[in-house]
Every structure is written in C-alpha cells, then in structure tokens.
C-alpha cells in the first residue's frame, strides 16, 4: 500500500513539472521522524505551490489528508506531513542549500521519472 501511495505522490509532483523527484526510505535508519521522504524542487514559487496543491488533491483521492502542512504561505519550502510519508517541495535554490538527500545519504533512495503516457487509439473510418 505504501509503495502505491509513494508512486501517486511522485506522479502528482511530476504532473506539475517537479524536478529531481526522489524518495528516501528511512525505515532502516531507526528514526522516528517518518518512514519515507519524498523530495522535489521547482524553479518558481508558483510552481512549488502548484505541486503542493496537486499532491494534496491526489492524496485526498486516496483518502489521505496531511496531518500538518508548513510553508504554504511563502512557497520556498513546503512540507506536507502524512505521518508515514513527508513530502518536501522546494524552490530549487533552497533544495540546493539544505541538501536533505546528503543528510540521509545512508538511506535507500529512489528517483522517480515520468511514466510513459498511454496513447488512446481511434479506429479509422472506412
């Protein structure tokens, strides 16, 4: 179930042109913070906000609402806390400064990419 939720979150980020979408599995690290981080960035505060809004919407479709949100007022670094997953949506310069992946370098990481879109076919009229 968690793998599906992580993929839904990654897709929600990618749908709004998030860059460098990375999941970090913290379960092996013995931390009580969360089980997973999902991290991405964008080049504008408008895009950061759009990504966060889309994540909230797509996770709500799964019946999940964030326990807490932080950063929605300035859109430099938005945190969406779902308990077992915490999303970090950064303005690019803030991600480069804070370098969360480096802080958790020993944890398993996964990079998410856009999945190929399926093409709808129509029958040719003869």
User: Beta-strand (E) ranges in 26-100?
Assistant: 36-42, 68-70, 77-81, 85-91
Please write the tens of the pLDDT for every residue from 26-57.
998 887 789 999 999 999 999 999 999 999 99
Does 126 score more than 90 pLDDT?
Answer: no
Residue 124's pLDDT is 43
- Which domains are assigned to the chain? 2-109 (3.30.460.10)
DSSP type of residue 33:
S
Please write the tens of the pLDDT for every residue from 62-108.
999 999 999 999 999 999 999 999 999 999 999 999 999 999 999 99
Residue 30's pLDDT is 81
Residue 90's pLDDT is 98
């Amino acid at each position: 179930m968690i793998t599906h939720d992580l993929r839904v979150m990654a897709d929600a980020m990618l749908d709004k042109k998030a860059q460098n979408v990375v999941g970090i599995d913290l379960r092996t690290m013995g931390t009580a913070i969360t089980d997973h981080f999902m991290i991405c960035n964008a080049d504008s505060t408008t895009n950061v906000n759009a990504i966060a809004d889309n994540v909230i919407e797509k996770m709500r479709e799964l019946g999940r609402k964030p326990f807490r949100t932080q950063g929605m007022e300035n859109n430099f670094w938005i945190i969406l806390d779902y308990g077992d997953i915490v999303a970090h949506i950064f303005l690019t310069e803030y991600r480069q400064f804070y370098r969360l992946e480096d802080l958790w370098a020993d944890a398993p990481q996964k990079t998410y990419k856009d999945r190929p879109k399926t093409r709808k076919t129509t029958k040719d009229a003869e």
